[in-house]
Amino acid sequence: MARRYDPDRRQRIIDAAIAVVGERGIAGLSHRAVAAAAEVPLGSTTYHFATLDDLLVAALRQANGECLADFARWVDGLDPAVPLADQVAELVGQTLAGDRSRVELEYELYLAALRREAVRPIAEECLNEMVRLLGRRIGDEQTARAVVAFIDGLLLQHLLTGRPFESAGVRAGLAGVLG
């Protein structure tokens, strides 16, 4: 029997891994679950991704790419005439008002790096790129790193607590951090 040419199979597997993590969390990720979601033979997942860490790395790279594209658009749109704290508050508010499942998925993948050494450099690359993008725009890498950490912390706290978003509190808090 001839092998079926399927050039999109690897991408479908990555997309399926992201869907599985979105539905079941990292604990629900397995080659078998991904194969079923991608509608491919189990051997295809292990052929393209020998370990679950390999699959997580690919999934996180894809999620980071989307996140970084959004962040780069936000950075490009920063208005020097508007206080950075106001613009960060708007970003956090828009992110929380958007697709919550996407933000939860991004953090699920991102936080997998705490326990999975192979994933850690991918998460670090994303953070460093966010700092680089923002630092280039505002002219100060240390401030950029503080702002990125502030954004991460706010988003994670709101996802965990479900507290209502208060733009004024974010502005005041970031203004305090920025001095």
On whether both 74 and 30 belong to a single domain, the answer is: no
Q: Are 71 and 26 contained in the same domain?
A: no
Residue 110 inside a domain? The answer is: yes
What is the model's pLDDT at position 6?
80
The whole-chain average pLDDT of the chain stands at 91
pLDDT exceeds cutoff 90 at 33: yes
Which tokens go with 41?
A: 């033979």
CA separation for the pair 28, 93 (Å, rounded) = 30
**Is residue 100 located within the same domain as residue 158?**
yes
Give me the domain span that covers residue 77.
Answer: 53-178
pLDDT of residue 87: 93
pLDDT at 2 over 80: no
pLDDT value of residue 3: 57
Contacts of 92 (CB under 8 A, 6+ apart): 151, 154, 155, 158, 165, 170
The pLDDT > 70 percentage for the chain reads 98
- Does 32 or 113 have the greater pLDDT score? 32
Read off the CATH number of the domain in which 107 is found. Answer: 1.10.357.10
pLDDT at 162 over 90: no
CB 64 within 8 A of CB 130: no
pTM of the model: 0.86
Residue 13 domain-assigned? Answer: yes
| 60 in Cβ contact with 119 (< 8 Å) | yes
Between 23 and 179, the more confident residue is 23
pLDDT, tens digit (0-9, with 9 covering 90-100), for 9-21:
999 999 999 999 9
Q: Give 109's pLDDT tier (boundaries 50, 70, 90).
A: confident
* 114: Cα separation from own chain's centroid: 14
Residues 21 and 80 in one domain: no
Q: How many domains does the chain fold into? A: 2
CB 78 within 8 A of CB 87: yes
The answer on 64 and 43 residing in a single domain is no
Average pLDDT, stretch 60-70? 93
Q: Are residues 68 and 27 in the same domain?
A: no
Q: What are phi and psi of 57, to 5 degrees?
A: -60, -45
Q: Please compute, for residue 70, the number of CA atoms within 13 A of its CA located in the half-sphere on the CB side.
A: 14
Tell whether 144 and 167 lie within a shared domain.
yes
Is the pLDDT at 51 greater than 50, yes or no? yes
- What tokens appear for 78 in the block? 């920063």
Residue 22 belongs to domain with CATH number: 1.10.10.60
76 and 149 share one domain: yes
Q: Are residues 35 and 57 in the same domain?
A: no
Distance in angstroms (rounded) separating the CA atoms of residues 5 and 104: 35
Q: Residue range 32-48: average pLDDT?
A: 95
Both 41 and 87 in one domain: the answer is: no
| Residue 34 included in any domain | yes
